[in-house]
Structure 1
Amino acid sequence: MQLKRVVVTGIGALTPIGNTIEEYWDGLVNGKSGAAPITYYDSEKFKTKFACELKNFKAEDFFDRKEARKLDRFAQYALVSSDEAIKDSGIDFDTVDKFRVGVIWGAGIGGLETFQNEVLNFAAGDGTPRFNPFFIPKMIADIAPGNISIKHGFMGPNYTTVSACASSANAIIDALNTIRLGHCDVIVTGGSEAAVTIAGMGGFGAMHALSTRNDEMETASRPFDATRDGFVLGEGAGALILEEYEHAKARGAKIYAEVAGGGLSSDAYHMTAPHPDGIGVVRVMQNCLKDAGLEPEDVDAINTHGTSTPLGDVAELKAISKVFGDHAHKININSTKSMTGHLLGAAGAIEAIAAILSMEHGIVPPTINHKHFDENIDPKLNLTLNKAQKRDVKVALSNTFGFGGHNACVIFKKIS
């Protein structure tokens, strides 16, 4: 069976450094930090008092009050970012078969704030169960793609992938394969997350996963730096329109990039820590290259998982050196989490978009906040430190890894 080619024809983003694609890209190339004091609740008693929240996002700008009350923030973000991507694609959905249009979305947690608030309200009451009738529909992780499909009448495959921080990368790979196999012509994919909550920050803080640099919050997310002490929690969403190549070409679509391939693997090692030698990460990148029919020497740029954790950053870079050999020194390697923080289930989507925009503009965004070199990291690697670098990027790879050892890798290339 001849697999169909798949391309990206629309993108949308809602991030801590910009609420549209244009704003997001501007923030990336200018090295903007999204970290700031938490505004959603009183964080005084928490070890970490900052996060990468969305700025200037108002639900009432996109939804009426009644509709907004039925949606957890993660679902609001999904609808807003997917609307931008759908508009960007230029597809007239009144002229296509909606049974061949699907939504495959990623979320690592889903409606955490909704769950938290309902339980807190119950605990504060007299023991009588007075739960909101929208509690379950607002909370479940699969409601985001459900709402997207309902809004637009898309009747193809519709589901959520849940693999912690790899969730939206998994969604992109599922969307790729669904179109490749001829089951759909168009899929809205990506991911959203809204875990900057009492429960989210408290839970990750208890794991000692978060940076506690409250006096240096803007520079706390510092991937690859010797003084890194944990990730900065972020929130938002990224959306991509994947389309079968001939379908896109027939309507004269603008094509951002071809989705060349995807790879998956498992660390099978530890609940939260990566294998110190990056064995699973080596395999996921090898699987991705094989799926794409590309050689290591073809890759120009890698947007790493790069969360700013002591163990994870070193393991990933060791894996890159193993997979790419001497060519690793010729690759622009970066971590956009240094700017956006870690968007958990939405990370793969917004970072895939960053990789695509690198090809579009010929610029690789920087890894900001780097001051101290780590002796455990190969000094010959080009980590694109502190300043964006011009580069004709023909092939870009995006890594995403999740708690539980879930590894996902997506590779994009310029259309030819």
Structure 2
Amino acid sequence: MTPRAPVAITGLGLITPGGEGTAATWEAVCAGTGTAAPDPALTGLPVDFSCRVPLTDDELDRRVGRRSWRMGRPAKLAVLAAREAVRDAGHRPADWDGARVATLLGCGIGCVDKWEEQARRLDGRGPEFVSPLAIPLALPNLGAGEVAIDLGARGVSLAPATACASGATALALARDLLAADVCDVAVAGGVEAGISRLSTTGFWRMGALSGRTAELAGASRPFAADRDGFVMAEGAGVLVLERVADAAARGRPPRALLAGCGATTDAHHPTAPSPDGREAEAALRTALAEAGLDPHDVDHVNAHGTSTALNDAVEAELVSRVLPHRPSVTAAKGVLGHALGAAGGIEAALTVLTLEHRRVPPIANLTAPAPEFDLDCVVKAPRRQDVRAAVSHSLGFGGHNVVLALTRP
């Protein structure tokens, strides 16, 4: 495969359980302390804790401004993260050609709590008490839609739904749109605020959630021998991408390069990963080939690392098989929980920060990987490392595998 031209990542925006803004989230993941806490919305359920963004809806409304009344929580998070990313990239929406700006924000399930709320109104009080905003409050594409409105971005707008790979899928599509000259700037990543009584119970019933109700901060423990599932989370991770020449023309050095993308489908099972991991391996090898990298060039892996039995085992075997030189491995979900469709965008942004700062955050709640995993997991404290090339894995229900290869400029 002939390597493809990389695209420049010029801006980052994050709002996560680690805090509001990129700096706060980076500080939180480097501290390596889990953010899971009791969730009043889940009181009485077998799993009654989650990882929430530390802002109430009222606080989000004040930050978003006058249009917030019509937005669900995912759209509010998306708007705030996108504004930060665009500022960080040095763009002024008042000055750009909005027809050449694309918005691509992946979302896995949308605003489930609004569906529940409106269903209760319908059943308890009747049709006339259902909000006329019931649909736009809940639709998973309204994160992308509201960001486009907020930024005056009139180009292509997409909301890919590839479950927990949605944010990474959006970034890969953004790269393709830039390469095809469909847009000049892409505001891309993922958003999710799908924590609700129904969604949490659904994940619990399938055995995906941690049940460590007496040890909340330590509930999510990727690659640990005693891992027992993930913690529901919310957040948004948005990146600004543009062609390298365009960034250079406006005097904006890239923070990192998105050098390669690989995407495959297991075609195996609706929720379980394929045990042999071969299609995930194909996605990884494609991302490396597009980036012009040999497997031994990879210094670091930002793992999907859900803290579930099946995912961690398949991913650990994948890394050992394709990257036998044992690059450093981290997994942010130990700190931030699993933000589903937002995870790929958040973790891509964290990989950019690892490249920039030459610092790998630790995996929270892990002292050593399970004995059967031959991984160099970073534990207990951040590790200083001259990371020049890294991969970020995103694996989603439906068998979606997306790998992004990122390099220093």
The residue type equivalent to 2:262 in the other structure is G
- Equivalent AA in structure 1 for residue 53 of structure 2: L
Q: Tell me which residue corresponds to 1:249.
A: 248
Out of 332, 352, 357, the position equivalent to 1:336 is 332
Task: Check whether the contact 1:3–1:181 (CA below 8 A) recurs between aligned residues.
Answer: no
> Structure 2 CA distance, aligned partners of 1:313 and 1:63?
37
Q: How has the CA–CA distance of structure 1 residues 169 and 373 changed in structure 2, closer, same or farther, with 3 Å as cutoff? A: closer
User: For the structure 1 residues 124 and 19, does the alpha-carbon distance in structure 2 shift closer, same or farther, using more than 3 Å as the test?
Assistant: same
Contact 1:4 1:182 in 2 (8 A): no
Aligned-pair distance for 1:154? Answer: 1.1
Superposition deviation, residue 4 in structure 1: 5.1
Quote the residue 1:81 is aligned against. 81
- The range that moved more, 315-324 or 369-378, is 369-378
Answer yes or no: is the 8 Å Cα contact 1:89–1:254 preserved in 2.
no
Q: Look up the SS of the partner of 2:230 in the other structure.
A: coil
| 2:107–2:192 Cα contact (<8 Å) kept | yes
Per-residue CA shift, 1:17-63, capped at 9, x if unaligned? 12111111111111131111113x1512x111111111134223313
SS at 1:339 equivalent: helix
What is the CA–CA distance in structure 1 between the aligned matches of 2:284 and 2:366, rounded to whole Å?
Answer: 25
Q: Alignment partner of 1:155: what SS?
A: coil
Q: Report the counterpart of residue 124 of structure 1 in structure 2.
A: 124
Please point out which of 350, 372, 389 is paired with 2:383: 389
CA distance in 2, matches of 1:373, 1:412: 25
More displaced, 91-100 or 338-347? 91-100
For 2:8, the aligned partner's letter is: V
User: Could you report, residue by residue, the CA deviation over 1:200-230 in whole angstroms, capped at 9, with x for unpaired residues?
Assistant: 2111111111001000110010011111100
Which 10-residue stretch deviates more, 273-282 or 6-15? Answer: 273-282
Specify the alignment match of 1:17 in structure 2.
18
Q: Pick from 337, 351, 359 the counterpart of residue 347 of structure 2.
A: 351
2 CA distance for matches of 1:6 and 1:371?
Answer: 37
Equivalent residue number for residue 98 of structure 2: 98
How far residue 70 of structure 1 moved from its aligned partner, in angstroms, is 0.9
> What's the counterpart of residue 70 of structure 1?
70
Where do 1:8-407 residues align within 5 Å? 8-39=9-40, 41-44=41-44, 46-57=45-56, 58-64=59-65, 67-125=67-125, 127-325=126-324, 327=325, 329=326, 331-371=327-367, 373-378=369-374, 381-407=375-401
In structure 1, what residue type is equivalent to 2:178? I
| Runs of 4+ off more than 6 Å | none
| CA contact 2:4–2:260 (8 Å) conserved in 1 | no
> Residues of 2 paired with 1:128 and 1:344: CA distance?
32
Distance 2:181 2:42 in 1: 50
TM-score by length of 1: 0.94
* Cα pair 2:4 2:290 within 8 Å, conserved: no
Amino acid at match of 1:87: R
Task: For 2:226 and 2:80, locate their aligned partners in 1 and report how far apart those are by CA, in whole Å.
Answer: 36
CA contact 2:61–2:69 (8 Å) conserved in 1? no
User: In 1, are the aligned partners of 2:9 and 2:239 still within 8 Å (CA)?
Assistant: yes
Unaligned runs of 5+ in 1: none
Distance 1:301 1:344 in 2: 22
AA aligned opposite 1:19: E
Deviation digits for residues 73-92 of structure 1 (CA, Å, limit 9, x no counterpart): 01110001001111111113
**RMSD of aligned residue pairs (Cα, Å):** 1.6
Q: SS of the counterpart of 2:376? A: coil
SS at match of 1:165: helix
- Identity over aligned pairs, percent: 35
Change (3 A) 1:247 1:31: same
Question: Residues 161-205 of structure 1: CA distance to partner in whole angstroms, max 9, x if unpaired?
Answer: 001000010000000111012221101001110111112211111
1:360-399 CA distance string (max 9 Å, x none):
1010001110146523212xx2111222100011111100
Contact 1:4-1:181 at 8 Å conserved across structures: no
CA distance in 2, matches of 1:310, 1:145: 33
Residue 119 of structure 1: CA displacement?
0.7
Shift of the 63–163 alpha-carbon distance from structure 1 to 2, 3 Å rule, reads: same
CA-CA distance at 1:410 after TM superposition: 0.6
| Cα distance, 1:254 vs structure 2 | 3.6
Change (3 A) 1:155 1:67: closer
Q: Does 1:408 align with 2:402?
A: yes
The CA deviation at 1:97 is 2.3
Counterpart residue type for residue 244 of structure 1? R
Cα gap change, 1:314/1:5 in structure 2, threshold over 3 Å: closer, same or farther? closer
1:368, 1:387 within 8 Å by CA — same for their partners in 2? no
* Aligned equivalents of 2:42, 2:311: Cα separation in 1: 30
SS at match of 1:23: helix
Q: Separation in 2 of the partners of 1:2 and 1:392?
A: 23
**1:129 positional shift:** 4.7
Residue identity opposite 1:43 in structure 2: T
How far apart in 2 are the matches of 1:284 and 1:373?
24
Task: Give, in whole Å, the separation in 1 of the partners of 2:248 and 2:207.
Answer: 49
**TM-fit CA distance, 1:283:** 1.2
SS in structure 2 opposite 1:93?
coil
8 Å CA contact 2:260, 2:287 repeated in 1:
yes
